[in-house]
Structure 1
């Protein structure tokens, strides 16, 4: 299908400028559609996206002087994958799906729907397509694409959620991954692009009636396929939410069982204290109360936290540490009510950091087995610090977040990369500090 304006625009330079404006708008609209549908925040990356589309528009405007315009628009769009990934800092799978959706938009909406139907209307009217008609058609389509771009920026519709493209670092069998669904989505979208590409190339050689039928049929098949893919992803997403809810309920039940047990024991302690007072054994009563206070402190220290599932996890680690003759001190100066991440993600960050600390101090002398966990906040950030003694040197710091790196035997080295991935998801940072034989992992997450 040809969308050129001929050679009478005032020379090659004028033609290239005209094509550059026309195709830059079309490419930008396609990428906006593709990136928005995969959950990318396009507004914060809009300037870089404009730079990419302008350079691509110039390239296509030069190439399209001698080649059918459908060819460079589709294939150069696919060649843009590494450039878009590097410039916009996106996962490779997310970039591929976004570019495939962009190609689908150009083939389905721009060529099959806009150009094709306008050309059919001209054919049915019997009016010859002159220079003015071509210019009017291009202007109408360009304005329509600008309107679609504004609509995508304001509404931000998402077809495929962010979880689809997140790399799963955990090897836990309970971890639910989207990897299989992602490959299927790429495969199906690729088939649609190939089919529509061939359809667009063959349109001008078909009868007007069949041309209209194949247009409607292609749109119906494409929309049905995308709807089918979306339903698969939504079903998987619901499975993950069920899994997370079960984890939350399990941790919550564990914490409430501890609280109920403590409350049950409280009546027994009152009876024992009453008996000691009746006998006048005040020193024994004082010692008994001190033991009760130490026992109750394990739970009371965690009660300020707003999320019981976080309290439950910290309580579990406290009990685990006691079994291994390790002391954990919790310094809770923020209740985490403003945390931007989910409870599940918070537990993964704290859990991995505390587990790493326990694994390390377990190798030390019993007198040196101390872990300090601090949760605080300043005006703009939630701050988590986990501190423990270490034998590591500062020159090892740069290796901590490499996938597979571990200083311990039989460890897969996935904990710290997972913490880093979650922190960066919310524009946060994690960094270690080694000072005087102590290592502290600091996590700062904007609220």
Structure 2
């Protein structure tokens, strides 16, 4: 009897080091990959976290905590450590952790059921036989590693969907669908495993009907949110255009006043005042002409609004519009989202840094079969260790900000087959460059740097 106990303890010790720890490492790798994070650069920290969590789980089992409490504590530890070690936001880490645990559950259910059928045994006998149990759990690791390899190879992440607005749902419909599928089959599989396949067919049908109805409901809710967001974007764009026309009408009204002033100066023989007044008018006309883009009223309205807004905040915009951007296939609203967010980010950075420089430069230019959009501010500089993180969903260097601005830009650029580049150093300043192909041009390789 004592030999049997010692043998069981040796198996448990073996399973802990050669299954529990690798299993936890794969779970963390799944979470990181599904979150859009490249864990290959931090394998050692992830391995240490895997050991720590595995030891804690064994301790929870030793003190005989309830299974539900153990699962909750495990989920809390995983999400917290992923946040602290790799900066993955809580909502994203939680969703990916739940999905990863469901993937693990499904893999274990299928593998263990298959082993029980092949070896004509039940679960308890399988666990008590090291010659059968060890190959079974190792096969689970092989399946998990294979799934991870496929997900990483094809760069799959449930958070790669296009971000439409700052009121974004925590997760998309596709991620909810994945979650529901794993959850449903997990319930059915666990019932079949624990109750030896006596689960009622009516209960299984009821589960499928309930989940199908919930999927339809969530899909309609998300569609409703999308339509509401698109409507608000159109209203904002229309507001900008109306503002532009109001400005043009007011300037036409002012033109008669300017003529009257010049007429009085001419009648009085004040030639110097006439010249000075005309020079001031020419300066205003040049400024207006930079903003008035006849074949792109949407962009013109946006720039008119931003110039007026930033002028009140003590920030000036220097415009160099070499391309009206009408030779691309990008919708006007999405183009305004990209440029507007870049300008807002530059202005926010200047204000947050205490106005080290109060100028923003916007340039659009066409080169061969491409158009370039450049937004630049000399200061502040983005530190090198943050230049990759600024594009991540939820990350922001500004307090109380959602961190969606650059994430929105990144997704819109990818959607329209463009390329987004960032240069930030003491010589150049902080410059974002976006390159799009012209209509009918070749696709640009997508990468963010």
Do structure 1's residue 432 and structure 2's residue 432 form an aligned pair? no
Match of 2:169 in 1: 178
Match of 1:91 in 2: 157
Contact 1:357–1:388 (CA under 8 A) maintained in structure 2: no
Q: Equivalent residue of 2:156, what SS? A: coil
Q: Name which of 186, 193, 207 aligns with 2:185.
A: 193
Q: Take 2:211 and 2:358, find their aligned partners in 1: how far apart are those partners?
A: 61
Q: Name which of 243, 246, 254 aligns with 1:254.
A: 243
Q: Name which of 279, 302, 320 aligns with 1:290.
A: 279
Following TM superposition, by how much is the alpha carbon of 1:333 offset from its aligned partner in structure 2, in angstroms? 0.9
Match of 2:432 in 1: 441
Q: Take 1:216 and 1:411, find their aligned partners in 2: how far apart are those partners?
A: 45
Q: Take 1:188 and 1:388, find their aligned partners in 2: how far apart are those partners?
A: 46
Give deviations 1:297-355, integer Å, cap 9, x for gaps: 33221222644343333223323444455442200011122153613532344323542
TM-score, normalisation: structure 2: 0.52
Q: Take 1:86 and 1:249, find their aligned partners in 2: how far apart are those partners?
A: 42
Q: Name which of 248, 254, 260 aligns with 1:265.
A: 254
Match of 2:343 in 1: 351
Q: Name which of 376, 381, 397 aligns with 1:387.
A: 376
Do structure 1's residue 301 and structure 2's residue 293 form an aligned pair? no
Q: Take 1:181 and 1:259, find their aligned partners in 2: how far apart are those partners?
A: 42
Distance 1:347 1:250, change over 3 A: farther
Q: Take 1:195 and 1:409, find their aligned partners in 2: how far apart are those partners?
A: 42
Following TM superposition, by how much is the alpha carbon of 1:197 offset from its aligned partner in structure 2, in angstroms? 5.2
Following TM superposition, by how much is the alpha carbon of 1:279 offset from its aligned partner in structure 2, in angstroms? 3.8
Q: Take 1:232 and 1:429, find their aligned partners in 2: how far apart are those partners?
A: 32
Do structure 1's residue 336 and structure 2's residue 328 form an aligned pair? no
Contact 1:326–1:371 (CA under 8 A) maintained in structure 2: yes
TM-score, normalisation: structure 1: 0.53
Q: Equivalent residue of 2:291, what SS? A: coil
Give deviations 1:146-195, integer Å, cap 9, x for gaps: xxxxxxxxxxxxxxxx44xx4x9xxxxx8211116657655544444346
Match of 1:275 in 2: 264
Do structure 1's residue 233 and structure 2's residue 299 form an aligned pair? no
Contact 2:184–2:207 (CA under 8 A) maintained in structure 1: no
Distance 1:93 1:372, change over 3 A: closer
Following TM superposition, by how much is the alpha carbon of 1:401 offset from its aligned partner in structure 2, in angstroms? 3.8
Aligned length: 305
Distance 1:382 1:349, change over 3 A: farther
Task: Map 1:101-180 to 2 at 5 A.
Answer: 162-163=161-162, 166=163, 175-179=166-170
Distance 1:229 1:372, change over 3 A: closer
Distance 1:352 1:75, change over 3 A: farther
Q: Take 1:410 and 1:220, find their aligned partners in 2: how far apart are those partners?
A: 42
Q: Take 2:219 and 2:321, find their aligned partners in 1: how far apart are those partners?
A: 42
Q: Name which of 396, 404, 413 aligns with 1:423.
A: 413
Distance 1:195 1:66, change over 3 A: closer
Distance 1:374 1:62, change over 3 A: same
Distance 1:285 1:339, change over 3 A: farther
Q: Take 2:253 and 2:141, find their aligned partners in 1: how far apart are those partners?
A: 71
Q: Take 1:67 and 1:289, find their aligned partners in 2: how far apart are those partners?
A: 93
Contact 1:252–1:312 (CA under 8 A) maintained in structure 2: yes
Distance 1:279 1:430, change over 3 A: same
Distance 1:246 1:405, change over 3 A: closer
Match of 1:11 in 2: none
Contact 1:399–1:405 (CA under 8 A) maintained in structure 2: no
Match of 1:363 in 2: 355
Give deviations 1:40-81, integer Å, cap 9, x for gaps: xxxxxxxxxxxxxxxxxxxxx999985669x99x99988766
